[in-house]
Amino acid sequence: MAEKHSIDTVKKALEVAKPRTFKETVEVALNLREVDLSVPKNRIDEEVLLPKGRGKQVKICVFASGELAMKVRPVADLVIQPQEIEEYAGNKRKAHILARNFDFFVAEAPLMPVIGKRLGIVLGPRGKMPRPVPPTADPSNMIKNMRNTVRVRSKDRRTFHAAIGTRDMPPEDLAENLDALVRRVMGKLERGRDNIASAYVKTTMGPAVRYL
């Protein structure tokens, strides 16, 4: 259950945001302090499973062959066979569209070296390198969880944003997602809450409401 403060913050953020003609994302903006983000190990790069889901479709692409490809077809949005990798690698525009249109990637472990070599330049900077799985695995549950997962990345910036859902979700659900995400970030910081200067909740186009 979400904390009352979180629910109140989300409700206020929704109230002060003007209605829009599209489904807005609700996000949290986190501002860090006294963290040396020039050191890669200090940066936040987490996949957080939101307890109440994303509120929108999350698209997942799987690089796989044979039996694994057969297993994931019912649960993945796109399956790319090994012989198709070169089609994307050899077409920069097609590779960029792939990276932009899909939220998460999974790959049969033996394919990771060629994906890294041929598509790493496109997927890597976006934090979208595939999660490897053994050829004999059934990643159906992992893919199901990914549909409720958000990636939180600070890179080398003290201020960064992460989605906690969409505006049409109940405030209580958004607040529960907010609590889960912020707890996860605090757990990765050396001094926890003390390393967060402030945090704000807002819709895509709405004003920010202070949370921390």
Residue with tokens 């409720």: 148
Distance CA 177, CA 116 (A): 32
* pLDDT tens digits, one per residue of 130-169: 999 999 999 999 999 999 999 999 999 999 999 999 999 9
Q: Could you give the angle at the alpha carbon of 16 between the alpha carbons of 150 and 151, nearest 5°?
A: 10
Pick the CATH number of 4-55+148-210 from 3.40.50.300, 3.30.190.20, 3.40.366.30, 3.40.50.80: 3.30.190.20
* pLDDT tens digits, one per residue of 138-147: 999 999 999 9
Pick the CATH number of 60-146 from 3.90.105.10, 1.10.260.40, 3.40.50.790, 3.90.1150.10: 3.40.50.790
How does DSSP classify residue 40? Answer: G
Query: Letter for the amino acid at 189?
Result: L
For CATH 3.40.50.790, the residue range(s) in the chain are 60-146
For CATH 3.30.190.20, the residue range(s) in the chain are 4-55+148-210
pLDDT of res. 126 = 92
CA 164 and chain centroid, separation: 10
Q: How, if at all, do strands 78-80 and 149-153 pair?
A: unpaired
Instruction: Tell me the whole-structure pTM to 2 decimals.
Output: 0.88
Distance CA 128, CA 122 (A): 9
* pLDDT tens digits, one per residue of 80-97: 999 999 999 999 999 999
Residues in CB range of 152: below 8 A, 6 or more apart: 44, 45, 46, 47, 48, 160, 162, 181, 184, 185
Cα distances from 190 to residues 47, 58, 180, 195, in angstroms, run 18, 31, 18, 7
